[in-house]
Amino acid sequence: RYYGESFLDQYYNSVSSKHSFALIRNIRFVQLNAVSTSTKLKKYLERMLDAAEVDRRIVSAAIGAFAMWVILLSSVYTLVPDRHWSTLEGAEREVPFMASVALITILVIFCVPFLNFTSNTGRARPSGIVLAGFVVIAISIFTNLLFAFAPTAVMVDPVTGVKCFLIRWCAWIPLAGLMTFMSEAIDMSEQKHGVSTEVVSSFSQLIAATCGLVFPFCPDIRTWGAVCTFAVVTYQNILHRVKRKYDLLKAERKGVTVLEKERYHRRYYAYHLLKLCSIIWTVLVVIFFVNVTLHLHLPEGHALRNESFSMFFDTSFDVLAKGLYLKIILDVHKTVFDSDARVERQFKELRKLMKVLWDSTTDVIIISVKGRERASSVLSPSHQNLFGVDPASIDSEVAASGMLLQTSTNFSGSSAPEVFDSSYIDSHHMQPAEHPTEQIAPIKRDSRKVKIAVDLIQSCWKNLDDTDQKDSILIVHEFVKQSGEICSCEIKLSRRPDSYVAIVRDVTERVKRFKAEQRATAEASARQRDAQSVNRFTRHEVKNGLLSGIELCDRLQRSFQAASNNVDQTVSQTLEKEKYKVIESEMIRTAGMIGQVDQVLHEILDTVLAEAMARDVIYEIYKPSPKKVDLVDALRSSCGGIGIEPRFPLVLPSEELPNLMLDSQLLRYIHRNAISNASKYGKVGGTISTHVCYNVRLEELKVEVVNESGDGHEKLVAMGQKASAAVFQQSTRLHDDPDVGDDVLSSGDGAWIMQKCAKNMGGFCSILFKPEKTKFIFQCRAAPVREGEAGKSSVFELPSNTWGIGIDDSWIQRKLLLRIFSNAGIQHNRKKVLGRNTEELDSVGLLIGALLDEDPDCKVLVLIDENLDFCDENGLRIMKSGSKMMGSFLENMSTLKRDRVLALVRSANDSSGDQADYTRRTHGFCPKTATKKEDFLEILETQWPKRFGSKPKPKINIFDEFDDEEGSISKDDLREVVASVDVLLQGKSFRDIPWSHLWSALHSLKGDIMISENEEFDSAAQAISSMRGSEAPDDFDERWKSIRESVMKGIDDLL
């Protein structure tokens, strides 16, 4: 419920001019919540129709009743034959005349309160129920005047012989319905659908009264009796309604609040008014039946059968009843429907609440009203604390006083409005408006507190003028207190015509805390970003190092294989058989060690990639990449010894498993963690078996990891499904303490991450704790690689005029880029690999532009590393983003040139977010892990038509081996290696340099030149091999000079 009058009336006496009184009085309808009521009362209030709506409905009913009376009266005057018309004489004429005089007197008395004029409230406004009372009296007056001065339609009842005055029934019919409805509607309940009970009750009385008009037209006793019975039955409904009203009144409590009291009064007057109606109609019914009985049983001329008795008793009682009825209606109006009285009652209660709120709230309440030339504003006493006034500097009376300001109305300007008057006012004793409270003390208009108050008031008006919002708005304002402290306040404004109410709250501490939290959050975010950058850079460097190591192992294996072939051909012929066997054994052992190193590097790389993938899965940014997977190889590669060692058996179905479309990284991660958990928490040294099942019809894969029970297993079995569910919850581990309760769990995210990985694949994980074993189950949908797809070879070659440009800061990766371009079918003389220094990076854009200008039909394939790391001449580290740099180059190109370039970013960080950034800046992403020829060509086959709209021409099978030795190293790379040896020898004797350093540089040169088939390179390699030993040969300078000349000559001979 909301009050309709403004609580600002309590401040009439707080303003020091009549002008301000008038301004504040114009503020109406400030919506404030009333004192809260009980839940039961609120429920009742929701059911009872609002008094204003009831008032409106009563007015509609009064208009309908008056219209019905006019229609009935017109019908009687029109339809009744002339023989039934006569002018009443004697008592029958005098009694109605006296009744009309009495009713007019009652009406005048009734209207006096609404004719009174006061300076405070103006002319009282009649409510709907008062207007309905006027209609009741007016109809009765006009009916009695017609009896006294106009011809009257009088018919004799053919059955009873009683005179029937039709004009009186024309009045009683609508009045019966109207008076009943008025009684019923006072406490009318809300009813959303159908006809309300109140309307039914009103119509039942209206119909009962209509039967009185029908009696003269009944031809026989049977018809008359039926009509009479129907009238009595419909009339009795009012008695049941009186009983219902009484029960409701009895159940209602008087209450203590205005709303509770108003509700009780509505119940009270609804009962008493309806009870009066029932008494009136009951007495009239009794008079009717007494008159009928007298006419039926007494002879004509009998004293008790006087024809004037009916008119006398009916008219007299009707006047008495109308007087009593109007008296109660007037009470109902004052108590329930008088809006001014209702507001006054509610206002008195609200005044008490607002007095407490005004004096005791820590927030400052500002009320500002704008007139033509001046604006009056009042601030609650709590402004002293808000403005930073020292309590010791003011007395208690001033401390409990509000502030009144009279200012100009130019709030929209940049300068402050002029202050005409400022003073403290008494806010404890609210006097009537005509007796304003005197000022307690004036305030200097140029004081600091007045300036703060004016600043607040002006800020509020400005914000109201700048917005079109009709509801309340919230603003933030800052000012400097008298103590010099900056105060931040939050102001909630409620707009009213030419006025506003503002609640000002000091939020300085909140703002300080918020700013401190912002700083802390920013610092934490900065630290987190720094940590992420360091971790990202570290992961990148680790991956790059691993990839470089893997490439070196590959090159070492190929070089060792070439050297082994030479040994087999030469050493076996010159050495004895026993010595040869020793050398051969050592060579085999060395080859095995190289293979082990390669395996370890691959395992470490898989672990790093798996951890990076797990991070993306946790943050839900990982996008699975289904590829053709050999399930057995994938499971065996997830952990060492799977399917090989007796402890880790791999149980396969009898049917041959097809290759499946899966994300192998996710599958290996789930399986590796399942094996790890089984090893840690299962039986020490127990068997851990992996069971694989594939449902071809459902295309569903099921992998089970079964281990024997370990310590504390019986408690997990006892927990049942609770343990199975808890395993996959975040920060949950069940095995740390065997005595742990089922509701005390430590941290652990492994199984939770496994579940997220499974969901990423469209599957799920579960676990069963059985008495003698634990079974981990992973299930997901996996489509098989169809037979036609499995053996299909994607055959293609790049156009012959395609240029390959590779950019990387690692010399090993640069060599690998040459091999990748060769695998893609790019001609040797159309390959460019850059990245030795920042100068080469800066020239990439010019190089691409020159190549495109030279051949208008050529296309350029660019592979660029994302993280480029260099050192300048001062040793300072320079890091550049390859994707950003390439994106800048592409933006500076013309559209025609840009359409002939395919730029792919190579990176070891291949999260979905990184890939999206790379694709946005360039044309796509190529992982550094795609070093195998078929992996890269698969990526290229996808990217090329996406970029240029057509697939390359078929030439070779991507699964065939390609001779990658041609062009595997460039002239510049060889010159760089030769220069590294020259740098070591520059200005020094070879004897001053550790032989291990020289031999390492020479061995590296040998490995590079052995890749290319060239006689000069072969002789140089043999010369380097001849220097193998623990010390440098005495003629090293001559040998190096010969080797250098052979290498440089071989470089010049390269195409």
- What is the torsional sign of CA 851, 852, 856, 858? positive
Confidence band of 766 (pLDDT split at 50, 70, 90): very high
Query: What's the pLDDT score for residue 692?
Result: 93
Using an 8 Å Cβ cutoff, are 95 and 312 in contact?
yes
- Phi-psi group of 775: left, alpha or beta (phi > 0 → left; psi -120 to 50 → alpha; rest → beta): beta
pLDDT tier at 960, thresholds 50, 70, 90: very low
The whole-angstrom separation of Cα 713 and Cα 775 is 12
Higher pLDDT, 275 or 794: 275
* Whole-number pLDDT of residue 902: 92
d(CA 416, CA 418): 7
Write down the number of H helices and E strands in the chain.
34, 27
Query: pLDDT, tens digit, for every residue of 398-457?
Result: 777 788 888 888 887 778 888 888 887 765 544 433 344 456 678 887 788 888 888 888
Task: Report the alpha-carbon distance of residue 486 to residue 403 in Å, rounded.
Answer: 22
Low-confidence winner among 29-38, 105-114, 579-588, 610-619 (lowest mean pLDDT): 29-38
What are the C-alpha distances in Å from 767 to residues 681, 689, 754, 775? 13, 15, 12, 6
pLDDT above 80: residue 913: no
pLDDT score at 418: 86
Per residue in 976-1030, pLDDT tens?
Answer: 777 777 777 777 787 778 776 777 677 667 766 765 667 777 788 778 877 877 6
Per-range mean pLDDT, top range of 154-168, 453-467, 893-907: 893-907
Which amino acid is located at 223 in the chain? Answer: T
Residue 220 has a CB neighbour count (10 Å cut-off) of: 9
Confidence of residue 804 (pLDDT cuts 50, 70, 90): very high
Q: What is the pLDDT of residues 377-400, one digit of tens each?
A: 888 888 888 888 877 777 766 777
Position 793 scores a pLDDT of 42
Question: Which residue is listed with tokens 């490995």?
Answer: 1007
What is the rounded CA–CA span in Å between residue 414 and residue 641? 82
Distance separating alpha carbons of residues 372 and 408, to the nearest angstrom: 9
At 617-666, the pLDDT tens digits run 887 778 888 888 888 888 888 887 788 888 899 999 888 888 898 988 89
Task: State the DSSP string of 609-650.
Answer: HHHHHHHHHHTT------EEE-HHHHHHHHSTTTTTSTTS-E
Separation of alpha carbons 234 and 203, rounded Å: 9
User: What is d(CA 813, CA 735) in angstroms, rounded to the nearest whole number?
Assistant: 45
Mean pLDDT, all residues of the chain: 77
C-alpha 94/C-alpha 72 separation (Å) is 24
Q: How large is the average pLDDT for residues 779-792?
A: 71
Instruction: Tell me the DSSP string of 648-691.
Output: S-EE--SSPPPPEEE-HHHHHHHHHHHHHHHHHHS-TT--EEEE
970's CB contacts (< 8 A; 6+ apart) are: 814, 818, 831, 833
Residue 704: the pLDDT is 94
Q: Is a pLDDT exceeding 70 seen at residue 737?
A: no
- pTM score of the predicted model: 0.42
Question: 31-40, 131-140, 469-478 — which is least confidently predicted?
Answer: 31-40
Residue 779 has pLDDT above 90, yes or no: yes
What is the average pLDDT across 10-39? Answer: 35
Residue 775: phi, psi to the nearest 5? -120, 115
- What are the phi and psi torsion angles at 440 (to 5°)? -80, -45
3-state secondary structure 339-364: HHHHHHHHHHHHHHHHHHHHHHCCCE
What was the pLDDT predicted at 162? Answer: 82
Select the more confidently predicted residue: 847 or 1050: 847
Is 1042 in contact with 1023 (CB distance < 8 Å)?
Answer: yes
CA 107 to CA 126: how far, in whole Å?
14
Distance CA 470, CA 468 (A): 6
